[in-house]
Amino acid sequence: MPAYIISLCEFTHRTPELKTYAEKSAALARRHGGRYIVRGKAVEVLEGEALAPKSVVILEFPDLAKLEGYVKGEEYQKTVKPLRQGTGIYDIGIFEAPPPNMQ
């Protein structure tokens, strides 16, 4: 069953390391079977104000094990994730696809 990382990101300090983070995290996600569903700001915010200053990232993985291998793995935790330190506010969660009877 597919699994997803959903991130709401408000960038407060864009650094060269943030660009490197984006490149390295994307390459690492691909190596774990991940693909971007959404990556960027809303084209239009229909209601509310919370999304206006934020970028949304939705990464899909074939299953929870591959997702966890990416985000909880040593390479991401020790090498990639530190590149975005001090660059913004990040709200990140892991979600599984709904069961077939709910789709």
47-102 pLDDT, tens digit per residue, is: 998 898 899 999 999 999 999 999 999 999 999 999 999 999 999 999 999 877 77
pLDDT at 62: 97
- pLDDT average, residue stretch 27-54: 95
Lookup: tokens for 84: 């975005």
pLDDT at 100: 76
Domain 3-102 matching CATH 3.30.70.100: the answer reads yes
Mapping DSSP to helix (H, G, I), strand (E, B) and coil, where does residue 88 land?
strand
pLDDT at 102: 74
**Calpha distance 61→48 (Å, rounded):** 29
**Calpha distance 6→25 (Å, rounded):** 14
Mapping DSSP to helix (H, G, I), strand (E, B) and coil, where does residue 18 land?
helix
* Chain centroid, CA 103 distance in Å: 23
pLDDT at 82: 98
